[in-house]
Amino acid sequence: MIVLLATTLAATLGCMLALWALSIRRRDPSFVDAWWPLGFVLVAWISLVMSHGDPLRQALLVGITTLWGLRLSGYLFWRWRRTGPDPRYASMLRHSSGNPHLFTLRNVFLLQGALLWIVSLPLQLGQWYPNPPGLLVPGMVGVVLCVVGGAFEIIGDAQLVRFKAQPANAGRVMDQGLWRYTRHPNYFGDALLWWGLTLIAVVNPVTAIAIASPCVMTFLLARWSGVGPLERRLTRHKPDYAHYVARTSGFIPRRPRGGG
């Protein structure tokens, strides 16, 4: 297993170094977001080749990750090509000190590579052990969570794209569909999916280490790189966003405050 973990770490960091070099030429590191989901797909397939675990668990972990990663990566790449550099990265660079390329190497590419490797632990540990065979009860629950989480992501993204495509909605706050019950259905769905993958993967005390994955992913989405920076920017640029925040859950879906 040590060889597997070392190989996936080397592959992850190697890809990040190559992307960092590309970011210097493009003068824009924000395309790395489109690679983030593909990095998990890469780790999942490396783990499949190097492991001899239970075939059903392997198929679920690799299959779900591949479908999720390809869909999300395609969507993020399309959004990056359509809207240009992400304002979060532009703000980060404006407030950086010293060489901006070394700053992005440390604070964007190597950091994201390390986080990606940690979050991908269920894909690595869950494919290693052949026993117990089949899918345990927690794994069945995990499959359900993956389906529900994936649906939240796909539907939430599609609803947002459709909303923004209407000229009449320019400057308005998206508060329809799933966005009526949570300000971030896509982030919630992402976190739910990783809790599901972890339930599929955990079959013994060693694989229980993988619980770090959804904990880190949920923190990133709900507290650090996801909700926080996005909501600060939306509050500055959309006067009605504060009212939306007051009545709508920030993460876990629930009925809007005030009913309706």
Q: State pLDDT tens for residues 210-223.
A: 999 999 999 999 87
The pLDDT of residue 257 is 85
Does residue 27 form part of some domain?
yes
Q: Are 215 and 221 in contact (CB under 8 A)?
A: no
Interval 174-223: pLDDT, tens: 999 999 999 999 999 999 999 999 999 999 999 999 999 999 999 999 87
Cβ count within 10 A of residue 30: 22
Domain span holding position 228:
2-89+106-247
Does residue 220 form part of some domain?
yes
The pLDDT of residue 28 is 86
Helix (H) or strand (E) holding 49: helix 32-50
Burial (CB count within 10 angstroms: exposed 0-12, middle 13-18, buried 19+), residue 205: exposed
Among 229, 211, 215, residue whose Cα is nearest residue 33: 229
Instruction: State the Cα–Cα distance between residues 243 and 245, nearest whole angstrom.
Output: 5
The pLDDT of residue 176 is 92
- Residues with pLDDT less than 70, the chain: 226, 259-260
The pLDDT of residue 223 is 79
Does residue 260 form part of some domain?
no
Does residue 259 form part of some domain?
no
Does residue 203 form part of some domain?
yes
Q: How many domains does the chain have?
A: 1
The pLDDT of residue 204 is 96
The pLDDT of residue 160 is 94
The pLDDT of residue 165 is 92
Q: Are 180 and 256 in contact (CB under 8 A)?
A: yes
Does residue 94 form part of some domain?
no
Does residue 257 form part of some domain?
no
Does residue 96 form part of some domain?
no
pTM: predicted TM-score of the whole model, two decimal places: 0.91
Percent of the chain that is helix, strand, coil (3-state, to 5): 75, 0, 25
Q: What is the DSSP-derived secondary structure letter of residue 168?
A: G
